[in-house]
Amino acid sequence: MKTIHIIGVPLDLGGGRRGVDMGPSAMRIAGLGEQIASLGHTVVDRGDLPSPIPETLGLRDEHKKYIRDIAKVCQKVYQTSLGSLDEGAMPLVLGGDHSIGAGSVAAAAEWARRTKDLPIGLLWVDAHGDMNTPATSLSGNVHGMPLSAVMGYGIEELHDLFGFKPKVEPQNVVLVGVRDLDTHEKKFIKKLGVKAFTMRDIDERGMREVMSDALKYAMDDTDGIAISLDMDFVDPADAPGVGTPVRGGVTYREAHLAMEMIADSEAMVSMEIVEINPVIDEHNRTALLAVELALSGLGKKIL
């Protein structure tokens, strides 16, 4: 059994569609803390980290919108998550948009580097690559850039945070479920040697085989893995309330199997769940599923 620290980050600056700031509340309303505790884990809810809203902010850089404010929130995510890890707890970070991954992944990386002198592995479970940079992004939305930042590229305000880079080596990063990649991201993945399992891989090989390989790559010569779960990984038929829905995602059971296999690996150091948008959801379905997936990742068994 583990001690789980729930850390809410209602950040809504990184994307083009408003509403993901309500994601942490939606998951709590869906019974996240109580259900994790029912598995036998100790749960501490550390509340929400302060996150500004666009209405309170001034001019923005159109190539990396609201980057200074996003970087400040990521600094808080890093400090809070690292504090939980230092206390022997597993941080469960609730977004908010995916730009917070720059802070949560960095915390797991620093903890592994400092305590084990080993790198961290990273499973980026997402419909998108999130490997754009200010020079390649057409929108300037920072939630499409955090993975490149943790690998030491792109936004200097993020990859230069916390005094070390890269946070994660490209060979220790695995993408799962991608189906909407920009041209630059495709080239970047191949150039850096990032392992990427697309929806075609899942269709042809099945989730069990894909996750077996993904975990093997992420765990190879690392001290555990950080999980970054964007709920748009799941098909909109089962998860309609997400920041950037993309048709053709994984099914309900495929998503659960992925998380169950993560639990079986016993390698998870930290987890974040991001991009739930209750504004476009249906009766909180997406948050309810997110809670279910968190439970599967934390060891809930069918039998």
Q: Find out whether 19 and 50 touch, Cβ atoms under 8 Å.
A: no
143 in active site: yes
Considering 12, 130, 169, 260, which one is annotated as catalytic? Answer: 130
CA distance 154 to 145: 7
Considering 12, 69, 169, 230, which one is annotated as catalytic? Answer: 230
Considering 5, 41, 98, 256, which one is annotated as catalytic? Answer: 98
- In DSSP notation, 221-286 reads TSS-EEEEEEGGGB-TTT---BSS--SS-B-HHHHHHHHHHHHHHT-EEEEEEE-B-GGG-STTHH
Q: Find out whether 23 and 276 touch, Cβ atoms under 8 Å.
A: yes
Listed in sequence order, the residues at least 6 apart from 166 whose beta carbon sits closer than 8 Å to its beta carbon are 150, 151, 152, 159
Q: ∠78-284-20 over CA atoms, to 5°?
A: 35
128 in active site: yes
213 in active site: no
Considering 180, 201, 275, 281, which one is annotated as catalytic? Answer: 275
159 in active site: no
Considering 5, 41, 128, 256, which one is annotated as catalytic? Answer: 128
Considering 110, 180, 232, 272, which one is annotated as catalytic? Answer: 232
Considering 12, 48, 126, 185, which one is annotated as catalytic? Answer: 126
63 in active site: no
Considering 5, 41, 143, 256, which one is annotated as catalytic? Answer: 143
62 in active site: no
* Catalytic residue IDs: 98, 126, 128, 130, 143, 230, 232, 275
